[in-house]
C-alpha cells in the first residue's frame, strides 16, 4: 500500500544520503524507483473518489514521475562512477517530496 511505499522511500533515501558505496547506492535508488512506481498505482486518501483522469490524479502521477526522473538521473550518475553527483540528487528528491506532501498528504 501507499504507506509501505512511503516507508520504503524514506528508508532508502536515508541510505542514499549515508552511503558512499556505489553498489549500495544503486540498490537503494532501485528500491526507491520501484516504490515510486508502485505508488502510482495507489490512491492517496486525499484523492479518494477522484476519477483516474481528473486533474488532481494526473497531478499526483506527475509528481511521482518527476521523482522517478530524478532517481533515473541519479542512477545514471552512479553508473558513470559519479557517486558524489548521484548522492547530490537527494536534495532534489527532498524538494519533490516536500512539494508533493504539501499537495497530497
Ligand atoms: C523521497 C521522496 C519521499 C519520501 C522519503 C516520502 C516519505 C513519506 C513518509 C515517511 C510518509 C508517512 C508514511 C506513513 O504514514 O507511514 C509519507 C506519506 C505520504 N506521502 Fe510521501 N514521500 C516521498 C515522496 C512522495 C511523493 C512524490 C508523493 C506524491 C506524489 C507522496 C505522497 C504521500 C502521501 C499522499 C502520503 C500520505 C499517505 C497515507 O495516506 O498515509 N510522497 N511519505
| pLDDT tens digits, one per residue of 60-102 | 999 999 999 999 999 999 999 999 999 999 999 999 999 999 9
Matching residue, cell 549515508: 18
Please report the pLDDT score of residue 103 as a whole number.
97
Please report the pLDDT score of residue 43 as a whole number.
95
96 CB neighbour count, 10 Å cutoff: 19
Average pLDDT over residues 24-42: 98
- Calculate how far, in angstroms, residue 63's C-alpha sits from the geometric centre of ligand 1: 11
Q: Are 11 and 91 in contact (CB under 8 A)?
A: no
- Atom index in ligand 1 nearest the CA of residue 104 equals 35
For the Cβ of 10 lying below 6 angstroms from any atom of ligand 1, the answer is yes
Please report the pLDDT score of residue 38 as a whole number.
98
- Calculate how far, in angstroms, residue 84's C-alpha sits from the geometric centre of ligand 1: 25
User: Residue with the nearest Cα to atom 36 of ligand 1?
Assistant: 105
How far apart are alpha carbons 63 and 42 in whole angstroms? 13
Q: Name, in order, each residue with C-beta under 8 angstroms of 78's C-beta and a sequence gap of 6 or more.
A: 22, 25, 26, 29, 86
Report residue 53 as a C-alpha cell: 483522469
ipTM over 0.95: yes
How far apart are alpha carbons 47 and 56 in whole angstroms? 7
Q: Are 44 and 60 in contact (CB under 8 A)?
A: yes
Annotated binding site for heme b: 6, 101
% residues pLDDT > 90 (the chain): 100
Domains in the chain, CATH or no CATH each: 2-104 (1.20.120.10)
Amino acid at each position: 500500500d501507499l504507506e509501505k511505499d512511503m516507508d520504503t522511500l524514506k528508508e532508502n533515501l536515508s541510505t542514499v544520503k549515508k552511503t558512499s558505496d556505489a553498489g549500495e547506492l544503486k540498490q537503494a535508488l532501485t528500491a526507491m524507483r520501484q516504490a515510486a512506481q508502485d505508488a502510482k498505482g495507489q490512491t492517496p486518501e486525499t484523492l479518494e473518489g477522484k476519477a483516474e483522469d481528473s486533474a488532481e490524479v494526473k497531478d499526483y502521477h506527475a509528481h511521482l514521475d518527476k521523482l522517478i526522473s530524478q532517481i533515473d538521473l541519479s542512477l545514471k550518475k552512479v553508473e558513470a562512477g559519479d557517486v558524489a553527483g548521484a548522492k547530490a540528487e537527494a536534495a532534489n528528491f527532498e524538494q519533490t517530496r516536500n512539494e508533493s506532501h504539501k499537495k497530497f498528504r
